[in-house]
Chains A and B, each alone.
Chain A
């Protein structure tokens, strides 16, 4: 197996597919990271991804327009974010529980709508790869990074964007302040509610993008439970990445490359029991989290509703 793996072709194939697989994790985990930086833990990522995957797919299927599909997928995610914000920020519900509720809502809703509308597995013509001129001709790197579709590029571009926003803009400063000490932010005239709504809705939209990518960017079809738990992994990746865009990028890549390797092992029919191969990425997550999170510095006000003690 090692010999086969060391052939350049195989490695490039695995890495390129790792980059593709990293895309949904990146979208979802970056979005979740922004929400958590403002102090809101949203466990509804997986359900949001599923619902967006469906709406994006359906609209593309019905209209033939990918752009419209993306738009609707993102809006669906934003709407799910809005629900989360109303429940957890305005109504101050326990965040863990409301997130799980949101997930179950997305899960059930996407199944139901799928049953009612399409009913059977159908396919669409999804996003096509778009080679970046010049860069895609580079040896190895070109094939690994620069022959993907536009959503993949967007996901990777969002990493530095998220970094700049969080660490170089007044908005990012407000977000971090609200996530660390909402009371202090409040006394400085920052609207804790406003910032949290903004972040949770943006987080929802990014989960929406993740789901959209799955159905019309990667698989080009919709099936039940299309996320296969990816949303949960994305939440874990935020912890793994220590609430930092670069950390989230590293985690997403690590996880997806191992996943790609696992798929390759299966496809190759290499003599490892199938169940073990599938387990690999998840075992890796658990191990990595056990080591990474102990030292991590989570936002001090994470999952704590804010109230000005006004009676």
Chain B
């Protein structure tokens, strides 16, 4: 497979890379390099320009200025096809898989076949199994991609790159959607690759991952390199400071509040998964005024179904949902919203916003039909602009303009926009699912601060998260879900990671 390649990659340098988008200078004279046998972590806030820099390296974007040196020789990477020929592979921030095709088919797309005009999936399957064995990437080549769990899909992405003989692998936030166990497995694979002489570029927002896997760290801010250190000479707090430009608060002092009346109550709730299997088995819980209740658990244990059953997006097959004394079981989402609920969904791009819509359109998705934003049957554009300007300002959403399509914002800024829209409705009950997934440390801090402020104002918050640190930092009480049931509820100030970990694994103490 390593045929017709100019040679093994021993070093790669990017010098003075500049890339402009309309209204944004995404890369502003960036220098970056990576060598065989090392993991170079690339850190930076949302929108700092990390993905842009990597897309330039992979030939997807052409830089406006700067040059790339491969093994010391300058060259121009005109297309992904050329990057692949040079031995560069990339795992993209969003999966680049084709669900209706099999694993083997996904891997061999675009490659010439040994059987000339016919595809040779058998041979591909054998080769995939070899790679899987060598790098600990177990996956069934004949399975359809839509059948795979997220962690397995990630493995397919890596196999795709290795199959093409990648010497240099770019991993753009590969861990954002993985469980802690899957992250450990991924790291084992990466260490193996490093030993075999691959050069690896690793992007993440999780600082402890940077400390665990990388040899060097480069930090980007606003498209410029603001620091480069050897991992052994730094720590998480120093990295956070470098990224954001100030100290970052990672543990919170919550004001003492006596929780008031029950605002969200779920009684013996039952619902089914997409596949029609029971996903919630008689789940009961209460959230009071001024209280944050965390739902911890490994993803896929009913958390998503719980959020959707509460918000009216999934039929409830048994039990009741009560919001502020109103029974909203199986009510439409509009009725649930009217009862005083706000929802931050985990699928940011699919359920949280309409990607093609502009910032202002997304900002008024729920309230556009009511005064003051609507006058009779017409939209009041002036009020809408004012309203949007206030949200953007109050919640520090970075966007070139109100007219910018939301898909051009960085992940963290999209999340802030959703937060702004949902919290500005002064909700009685807030359901927040994975509110900081893929969000940088600065924005995470901001979102946490807002959630705590909301608590002080009396909102009852249900916080669903796979990030134990987040759950423990914010929750007054923590409920752990396992296989559609609540395994136990512990007080936030008494919980330990070990105790929660056991409950998450289904072990009752």
Across-interface contacts of A189 in B (CB, < 8 A): 79-84, 110
Chain A neighbourhood of B113, CB < 8 A: 169-170
* Given A187-B80, A187-B90, A308-B60: A170 in contact with B96 (beta carbons within 8 A): no
Cα A56 to Cα B62 in complex, Å, equals 46
| B: interface residue count bin | 20 to 34
In the complex, what distance in Å separates the CA atom of A173 from the CA atom of B104?
11
CA distance A191 to B100 in the complex (A): 20
B83: chain A residues within 8 A (beta carbon): 189
Q: Is the interface of A mostly helix, strand, loop or mixed?
A: helix
Q: Bin the interface of chain A by size.
A: 20 to 34
> Quick check: is A20 within 8 A (CB to CB) of the other chain?
no
Q: Are B22 and A311 in contact, CB atoms less than 8 angstroms apart?
A: yes
User: How far apart sit A187 and B59, CA to CA, in the bound complex (Å)?
Assistant: 9
Contact present for B97 and A181 (CB under 8 Å): yes
Most buried by A among B97, B98, B111: B98
- Contact mask for chain A residues 174-215; partner B; CB cutoff 8 A; 1 contact, 0 none: 101100110111111111000000000000000000000000
Q: Contacts A188-B80, A189-B84 given: A177-B58 contact, CB under 8 Å?
A: no
Q: A177-B101, A180-B101, A190-B110 are in contact. Are A168 and B58 (CB under 8 A)?
A: no
Instruction: With A310-B62, A311-B21 as known contacts, state yes or no: A187 contacts B105, CB within 8 Å.
Output: no
B98 and A187 contacting across the interface, CB-CB below 8 Å: no
For B107, give the chain A residue with the smallest CB separation: A188
Residues of B within 8 A of A311 (CB): 20-22
Chain B residues lying within 8 Å of A186, measured Cβ to Cβ, are: 60, 80
Would you call A190 and B109 a contact (CB within 8 A)?
A: yes
**For chain B residues 111-134, which have a beta carbon within 8 Å of chain A?**
111-113, 117-119
A-contacting residues, B62-110, CB 8 Å: 62, 79-84, 90, 92, 96-101, 105, 108-110
Task: Give chain B interface residues in 6-46, CB to chain A under 8 Å.
Answer: 20-22
Q: Is the Cβ of A188 less than 8 Å from the Cβ of B110?
A: yes
Mask: chain B, 148-169; 1 = CB below 8 Å from A; 0 = not: 0000000000001000000000
Question: Is there a chain B Cβ closer than 8 Å to A117's Cβ?
Answer: no
Check B446 for interface membership: any CB of A closer than 8 A. no
Check if A297 is an interface residue, CB within 8 A of chain B.
yes
Contact B98 A170 (CB under 8 A): no
State how many angstroms separate the Cβ of B145 from the closest Cβ of chain A: 10
A118, B82: Cα distance in complex, Å: 54
A168 near B118: Cβ-Cβ < 8 Å: yes
List the A side residues contacting B90 at CB < 8 Å: 187
Q: Which residues of B contact A308 (CB under 8 A)?
A: 60-61
Residue among B83, B97, B109, B118 facing the most chain A CB atoms (10 A cut-off): B109
CB distance from B503 to the nearest CB of A (A): 38
Question: What separation, in Å, do the CA atoms of A168 and B118 have in the docked complex?
Answer: 6
Q: How many angstroms from the CA of A287 to the CA of B153 in the assembled complex? A: 39
Given A176-B101, A181-B97, A311-B20, decide whether A187 and B61 contact each other with a Cβ distance below 8 A.
Answer: no
Cβ–Cβ < 8 Å partners of A173 in chain B:
101, 105, 108-110, 119
Q: How far, in angstroms, from A185 to B160 measured CA to CA in the complex?
A: 12
Measured in the bound complex, the distance between the Cα atoms of B111 and A37 in whole Å is 19
Contact residues in B for A180 (Cβ distance below 8 Å):
98-101
- The answer to whether B96 touches A181, judged by C-beta atoms less than 8 angstroms apart, is yes
What is the CA–CA distance of A297 and B117 in the complex, to the nearest angstrom?
27
A188 partner residues in chain B, CB cutoff 8 A = 80, 84, 96, 109-110, 160
Quote the shortest CB–CB distance from B125 to chain A (angstroms): 14
- Identify the interface centre among A170, A172, A174, A183: most chain B CB within 10 Å of its CB: A170
CB contacts (< 8 Å) of B119 on chain A: these are: 168-170, 172-173
> Which chain B positions have C-beta within 8 A of A171?
117
- Of A174, A190, A297, which is within 8 A of B100 by CB? A297
CB-defined contacts of A176 to chain B, threshold 8 Å: 98, 100-101
Residues on A with C-beta less than 8 A from B118 are 168-169
Minimum distance in angstroms from A299 CB to a CB of chain B: 9
Chain A proximity of B68: nearest CB distance (Å): 17
**Chain A proximity of B59: nearest CB distance (Å):** 9
Inside 8 A of B160's CB, which chain A residues have their CB? 188
Question: What is the chain B residue whose CB lies nearest that of A170?
Answer: B113
Q: Across the interface, which residues of B come within 8 angstroms of A174, CB to CB? A: 109-110
Chain A residues whose CB sits within 8 angstroms of the CB of B108 once the complex forms: 170, 173
Least distance between A199 CB and chain B CB atoms (Å)? 15
A170: chain B residues at CB < 8 Å are: 108, 110-113, 117, 119
> In angstroms, how far is the closest chain B Cβ from the Cβ of A162?
14
**Is B61 within 8 A of A177, CB to CB?**
no
**CB-nearest residue of chain B to A186:** B80
Q: How far is the CA of A188 from the CA of B58 in the complex (A)?
A: 10
Q: How far is the CB of B356 from chain A (nearest CB, A)?
A: 11
- Chain A residues contacting B99 (CB-CB under 8 Å) are 180
The residue in A191, A297, A311 that gathers the most chain B C-beta atoms within 10 A of its C-beta is A311
Quote the shortest CB–CB distance from A137 to chain B (angstroms): 35
Asked whether B58 lies within 8 Å of A187 as measured between CB atoms, the reply is: yes
Q: Which of A168, A184, A191 contacts B97 (CB 8 A)?
A: A184
- Interchain CB contact under 8 A, B98 and A181: yes
28 contacts between A and B (CB under 8 A): A168-B118, A168-B119, A170-B117, A171-B117, A173-B105, A173-B110, A174-B109, A177-B110, A180-B98, A180-B100, A181-B98, A184-B97, A184-B109, A187-B58, A188-B84, A188-B96, A188-B109, A189-B79, A189-B81, A189-B110, A190-B81, A190-B109, A190-B110, A191-B81, A297-B100, A308-B60, A310-B60, A311-B20
Beyond known contacts A173-B110, A177-B101, A188-B96: 15 more, CB 8 A cutoff:
A170-B119, A172-B119, A173-B119, A176-B100, A184-B98, A187-B58, A187-B90, A187-B92, A187-B96, A189-B80, A189-B110, A191-B81, A308-B61, A311-B20, A311-B22
- A-B pairs, top 6 by smallest CB distance, nearest first, are A189-B81, A184-B96, A190-B110, A188-B110, A180-B98, A177-B109
